[in-house]
């Protein structure tokens, strides 16, 4: 029997100053001004149409992602969040995160975002090395990155995240360590540490840069990890490190297979409907221009489908195995509606390979399971490696 998980809201703001060569997010280089008035109108109209699917539910977190949300003025963010609050039941103290690019934050903007109700900033620093930033096509240098972090702190945000990437073109272990050290000097409560991946249909895919060899990348991960552990950070997810209690509540909800409303161009949503024994996935129109035009006939949704039981099992483990915390069988059953007995084959195989250990109540990912996460996740594929 399906049960309702916590609900969060993702809002996609799709414009950037320039498109970075490694990025495959639904983000578009801005031509002229951000149409913020029209876009906020569209977002709020979109949200209103979503309400019947989530009547009576409390929202635990909101995430303004992109793209570069910091291209929007404080006034626009204020109107957006006021609209969200008016339409939805936001839990007291709900986490409200906004992504910002150090190259696209006007003076005093952080104060206005805070006044609008944003209580967590996620800053896309990527590296503190000017040459690397240039190779990554970033619109900011080291100095702007440092100033932006100071501005976030100065505006009174005690909760913030720094995004760093590692295994960058021709990067040495020392350089990767230096980036982490510089980030730590600002005492962030949270650090996202992503290995640079070459995504299809990006400039880097067409003209791949020289990335560090696998062994060197492994050494970087190990040594950066040791540095972070030594500084009191916990790796609660594959790429997410935080001080105790400062995990991203919003991202935790994704990884724990919670529900989320997704509004804005290309945003994804997942909503559980227990009375109908269904889990629905939705996607909004991808192209900002089409999304904006959808306001005319209330047609924001481009795709909607029920998730099959088999896919629910795979998607649950795809997300959930990213987290370090153990997986209670009771949680699996509540969020997928599938009985634990259905897991016998993949779990036996995963145990045999040393990727998990299983007790009466929960599944534990082992160190090996962390290292070979893709293989572990693959065991839960419908008719996959395990012939479940």
Ligand X SMILES: C[S@@+](CC[C@H](N)C(=O)[O-])C[C@H]1O[C@@H](n2cnc3c(N)ncnc32)[C@H](O)[C@@H]1O
User: Rounded to whole angstroms, how far apart are CA atoms 291 and 300?
Assistant: 6
Residues 385 and 378: beta-carbon distance below 8 Å: yes
Residues 272 and 263: beta-carbon distance below 8 Å: no
* Partner from ligand X, ligand SF4, none contacting 163, C-beta within 5 to 8 A by type: ligand X
Per CB under 6 A, does 67 bind ligand SF4? yes
SS3 316: helix
Binding to ligand X by CB under 6 A, coded x per residue (else -) over 5-24, reads -----------------xx-
Residue with smaller CB distance to ligand X, 26 or 272? 26
Q: What 3 state SS string does 138-204 have?
A: CCCCHHHHHHHHHHHHHCCCCCEEEEEEECCCCCCHHHHHHHHHHHHCCCCCEEEEEECCCCCCCHH
Binding to ligand SF4 by CB under 6 A, coded x per residue (else -) over 94-133, reads -------x----------------------x---------
- One residue of 106, 174, 199, 306 binding ligand X per CB under 6 A: 199
Q: What's the burial of 72, exposed, middle or buried (CB within 10 Å: 0-12/13-18/19+)?
A: buried
Per CB under 6 A, does 194 bind ligand X? yes
Residue nearest to ligand X (CB): 124
Per CB under 6 A, does 69 bind ligand SF4? no
Per CB under 6 A, does 267 bind ligand SF4? no
Q: Which positions ≥6 away from 229 have C-beta within 8 Å? A: 235
Per CB under 6 A, does 20 bind ligand SF4? yes
Q: How many residues bind ligand SF4 (CB under 6 A)?
A: 11
- Output the smallest distance, CB 171 to ligand X, in A: 13
The window from 22-30, 171-179, 234-242, 374-382 that contacts ligand SF4 (CB under 6 A) reads: 22-30
Q: Which residue reads 């709900």 in tokens?
A: 94
Rama region for 298: left / alpha / beta (φ>0; ψ in -120 to 50; rest)? left
Per CB under 6 A, does 68 bind ligand SF4? yes
Per CB under 6 A, does 110 bind ligand X? no
Instruction: Report which secondary-structure segment, H or E, holds 111.
Output: helix 109-116
- One residue of 4, 6, 25, 186 binding ligand SF4 per CB under 6 A: 25
Per CB under 6 A, does 212 bind ligand SF4? no
The window from 49-57, 61-69, 254-262, 369-377 that contacts ligand X (CB under 6 A) reads: 61-69
Q: Which positions ≥6 away from 253 have C-beta within 8 Å? A: 5, 6, 8, 60, 61, 259, 260
- Which token pair is 345? 């084959």
Interface residues with ligand X (CB under 6 A) are: 22-23, 25, 65-66, 68, 99, 101, 124, 126, 163, 165, 194, 196-197, 199
Interface residues with ligand SF4 (CB under 6 A) are: 16, 19-20, 23, 25, 27, 66-68, 101, 124
């Amino acid at each position: 029997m399906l049960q309702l998980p916590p609900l969060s809201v993702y809002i996609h703001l799709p414009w950037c100053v320039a498109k970075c060569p490694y990025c495959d997010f639904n983000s578009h280089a801005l031509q002229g001004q951000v149409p913020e008035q029209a876009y906020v109108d569209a977002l709020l109209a979109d949200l209103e149409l979503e309400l019947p699917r989530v009547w009576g539910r409390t929202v635990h977190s909101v995430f303004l992602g992109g793209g570069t949300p910091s291209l929007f003025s404080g006034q626009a963010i204020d109107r957006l969040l006021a609209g969200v609050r008016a339409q939805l039941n936001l839990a007291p103290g709900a986490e409200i995160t906004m992504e910002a690019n150090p190259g696209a934050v006007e003076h005093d903007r952080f104060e206005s975002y805070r006044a609008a109700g944003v209580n967590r900033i996620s800053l896309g620093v990527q590296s503190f090395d000017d040459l690397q930033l240039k190779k990554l096509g970033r619109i900011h240098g080291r100095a702007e990155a440092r100033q932006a972090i100071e501005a976030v702190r100065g505006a009174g945000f005690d909760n913030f995240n720094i995004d760093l990437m590692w295994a960058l073109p021709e990067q040495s272990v020392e350089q990767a360590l230096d980036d982490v050290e510089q980030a730590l000097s600002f005492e962030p409560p949270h650090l996202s540490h992503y290995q640079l991946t070459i995504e299809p249909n990006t400039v880097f895919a067409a003209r791949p840069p020289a990335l560090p060899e696998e062994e060197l990348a492994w050494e970087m991960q190990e040594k950066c990890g040791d540095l972070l552990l030594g500084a009191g950070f916990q790796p609660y997810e594959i790429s997410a490190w935080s001080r105790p209690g400062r995990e991203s509540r919003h991202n935790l909800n994704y990884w724990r297979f919670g529900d989320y409303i997704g509004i804005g161009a290309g945003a994804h949503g997942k909503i559980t409907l227990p009375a109908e024994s269904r889990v629905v996935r939705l996607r909004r129109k991808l192209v900002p221009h089409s999304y904006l035009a959808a306001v005319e006939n209330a047609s924001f949704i481009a795709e909607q489908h029920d998730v099959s039981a088999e896919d629910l099992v795979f998607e649950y483990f795809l997300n959930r195995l990213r987290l370090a915390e153990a997986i209670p069988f009771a949680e699996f059953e509540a969020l997928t509606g599938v009985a634990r007995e259905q897991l016998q084959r993949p779990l036996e195989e995963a145990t045999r390979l040393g990727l998990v250990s299983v007790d009466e109540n929960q599944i534990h990912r082992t160190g090996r399971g962390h290292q070979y996460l893709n293989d572990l996740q693959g065991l839960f594929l419908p008719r996959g490696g395990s012939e479940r």
